């Protein structure tokens, strides 16, 4: 008999782990767990989730007459602990419906009461994060109580939570004794008179059936929080890099205006107007990715400013394939590279030169090529272009942040022949 009940209790822990894992794969359930504050509608939805999942377990227990499926007590306590009074009370009532349909009317009182108990524990927790760090090992909680590095308030809360789980199981036993199997059916009814070892096993299984889902969900929750933090860090880093490019571009353009003010005031005025148009576009734009079409429009405005300095000496050839125009590329990707071609390749060339832009698609990869026929970059400077300066190093850093190792950026330059910059990265448009 003892071995039979031991198998049931072990199966109960396996069911608890399975239920927690299944719920952990639900995006809606995870978003619900990640919220610190919830509206009443969200709390009711959370109660409904707990009610359906753990209520089905009780239904299976009734049909199969196997208490391994019955996690109603643990589910009601978890609902209150994670969602508060309303979720605990409502979830407990919903969980009990299958038992009530079987004539177990005391189940509603038990599960609703345990759900409210979970809500009370949530209220006295030092912080909501401390709920997730609960350990089912009593000796570990006591050990933490006497260690200075642990917050005594958190440790006391964990001991209270430990005691609350045992108290909930005691309530189930007490109601079983009162009901005498008429209004509540529990594992004690099949065990008849369990000895001290039997009670120990039942209480231990309840404790771990409560803690296992908490640990599994906390593990998944931590992974999601890390993903959110990494995403936020990536966005912040991209914004920092973009904000570095914008003043750099502005500084160079203002130098152009400064050189024109005395020699050609009308042209300087035209450049300022064009610059204001560019700045308005930059202020309205905060996305990390833009269609290539928009970036080309920006480049045309930028080159119209540069051409006031170089006149007909500077020519731009656009050989972008039409299929690439709606593809997403990193914002402000082309301007620093074209500026590099003008500054290092063409500005010192007396007769000026041509900058050619080519784009193409190969499979799910976007290729962008900027080539000039300028004086080229000396080999010693070419070796340090990714580490020094703002333009090229900034572009390379942003590509690394966006694509990790799934990109390529090459710069090939020959003295007196020109420089070619080639960039290749995944086509994100097809993945959206």
Model confidence pLDDT, tens digit, residues 228-244: 666 666 665 556 555 55
Identify whether residues 288 and 425 lie together within a single domain: yes
Same domain membership, residue 275 and residue 198: no
- pLDDT 10s digits, 248-296: 667 767 777 777 787 778 878 877 887 777 777 666 655 678 899 988 9
Please answer whether residues 97 and 51 qualify as being in contact, where contact means their C-beta atoms are separated by less than 8 angstroms.
Answer: yes
Query: Is residue 223 located within the same domain as residue 307?
Result: no
Looking at the fold, whether 317 and 200 belong to one and the same domain comes out as no
Q: Model confidence at 59, in pLDDT bands (50, 70, 90)?
A: very high
Residues 211-233 pLDDT 10s? 999 999 888 888 877 776 666 66
Parallel, antiparallel, or unpaired for β 314-320 and 328-330?
unpaired
Q: Confidence band (pLDDT; 50, 70, 90) for 367?
A: very high
Are both 217 and 281 inside the same structural domain? no
Query: Of the candidates 228, 243, 277, which is a domain's last residue?
Result: 228
Would residue 210 count as lying in a domain?
A: yes
Task: Please give the model's pTM, rounded to 2 decimal places.
Answer: 0.61
Q: Is residue 15 part of a domain?
A: yes
CB 296 within 8 A of CB 338: no
- Residue 240 maps to a domain: no
pLDDT given for residue 109 in this prediction? 93
Number of domains in the chain: 2
pLDDT score for 221: 82
- Cβ 326 vs Cβ 286: under 8 Å: no
- pLDDT by residue (tens digit) across 128-168? 878 888 877 766 666 666 665 667 888 888 889 999 999 99
Whether residue 12 is found in the same domain as residue 146: yes
The pLDDT of residue 332: 79
Question: CB burial class (10 A; 0-12, 13-18, 19+) of residue 110?
Answer: buried
Residue ending a domain, choose from 228, 251, 284: 228
Residues listed for the chain: 432
Q: In which band, very low, low, confident or very high, does the pLDDT at 203 lie, cut at 50, 70 and 90?
A: very high
Domain limits for position 198:
2-228
């Amino acid at each position: 008999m003892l071995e039979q009940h031991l198998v049931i209790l072990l199966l109960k822990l396996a069911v608890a782990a399975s239920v927690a894992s299944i719920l952990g794969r639900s995006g809606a359930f995870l978003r619900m767990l990640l919220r610190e504050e919830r509206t009443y509608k969200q709390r009711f939805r959370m109660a409904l989730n707990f009610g359906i999942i753990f209520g089905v377990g009780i239904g299976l227990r009734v049909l199969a007459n196997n208490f391994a499926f019955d996690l109603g007590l643990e589910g009601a306590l978890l609902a209150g602990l994670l969602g508060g009074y309303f979720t605990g009370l409502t979830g407990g009532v919903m969980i009990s419906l299958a038992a009530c349909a079987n004539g177990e009317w005391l189940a509603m009182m038990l599960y609703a009461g345990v759900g409210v108990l979970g809500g009370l524990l949530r209220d006295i927790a030092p912080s909501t994060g401390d709920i997730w760090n609960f350990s089912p090992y009593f000796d570990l909680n006591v050990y933490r109580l006497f260690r200075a590095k642990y917050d005594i308030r958190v440790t006391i809360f964990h001991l209270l939570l430990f005691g609350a789980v045992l108290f909930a199981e005691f309530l189930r036993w007490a109601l079983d004794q009162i009901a005498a199997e008429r209004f509540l059916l529990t594992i004690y009814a099949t065990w008849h008179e369990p000895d001290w070892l039997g009670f120990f096993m039942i209480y231990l299984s309840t404790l771990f059936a409560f803690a296992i889902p908490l640990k599994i969900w906390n593990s998944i929750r931590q992974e999601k929080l890390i993903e959110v933090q990494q995403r936020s860090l990536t966005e912040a880093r991209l914004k920092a890099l973009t904000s570095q490019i914008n003043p750099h571009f502005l500084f160079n353009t203002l130098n152009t205006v400064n050189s024109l003010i005395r020699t050609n005031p009308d042209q300087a005025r035209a450049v300022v107007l064009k610059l204001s148009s560019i700045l308005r576009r930059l202020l309205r734009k905060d996305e990390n990715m833009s269609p290539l079409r928009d970036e080309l429009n920006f480049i045309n405005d930028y080159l119209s400013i540069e051409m006031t300095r170089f006149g007909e000496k500077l020519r731009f050839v656009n050989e972008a394939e039409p299929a690439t125009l709606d593809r997403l590329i990193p914002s402000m990707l082309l301007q620093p590279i074209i500026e590099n071609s003008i500054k290092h390749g063409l500005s010192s060339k007396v007769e000026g030169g041509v900058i050619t832009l080519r784009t193409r698609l190969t499979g799910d990869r976007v290729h962008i090529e900027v080539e000039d026929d300028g004086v080229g970059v000396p080999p010693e400077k070419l070796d340090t272009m990714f580490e020094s300066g703002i333009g090229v190093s900034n572009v390379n850093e942003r590509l690394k942040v966006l694509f990790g190792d799934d990109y390529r950026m090459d710069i090939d330059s020959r003295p007196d022949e020109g420089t070619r910059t080639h960039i290749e990265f995944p086509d994100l448009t097809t993945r959206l």
